Amino acid sequence: MGTHFKGSAEQVAALDAYIKLVRSTDSLTARVHTVLPADLTITQFGVLEALHHLGPMCPSEIAGKVLKSAGNLTLVIENLTKADLVRRERNPDDRRFFTIHLTAKGEAFIRALFPKIARAITAEFGVLSPAEQTTLAGLCRKLGRAAAA
């Protein structure tokens, strides 16, 4: 179902597309989330995935990668630290700053989990042809970058 708003054709089209985009994203995220362990949030997974593929980073870099605020990420990192999946390492030159690293347990955990998530996402996107996936990726990038312009 699209919008019930009775504005201009341009407004109705934009709102309808927005509603469909948000609903499909929420639905897709919920289905992929079922692959995650019950005690792991999507944001926690994102942090582990970023550290696994990009290496140790400071919290503000991680926040940019997982599209969360640094304030929100503080609790996420704290919970991952308590689970012994990540560790904080202070900068020896400036003790105010620290870097987040995967622990051995965290590395093993994400190495085992990531292929399951990748398979789930691949299956979900299987309803689109490769060309459609490329088009969708380009459109999403265009929307995302429009705000930065």
- pLDDT value at 149 more than 70: no
First to last CA, the chain: 31
Q: Is the pTM of this model over 0.75?
A: yes
Q: What DSSP string describes 135-146? A: HHHHHHHHHHHH
DSSP state of 40: -
Where do the domains of the chain lie? 1-34, 39-146
**Considering the chain, what percentage of its residues have pLDDT values greater than 70?**
96
Give per-residue pLDDT as tens, 31-49: 988 999 989 998 999 999 9
Q: Determine the Cα–Cα distance for residues 96 and 108; give it in Å rounded to an integer.
A: 29
Q: What DSSP string describes 1-35? A: ------S-HHHHHHHHHHHHHHHHHHHHHHHHHTT
Give per-residue pLDDT as tens, 8-27: 889 989 999 999 999 999 99
pLDDT category at 97 given cuts 50, 70, 90 is confident
Q: Per CATH, which fold does 39-146 belong to? A: Arc Repressor Mutant, subunit A (1.10.10)
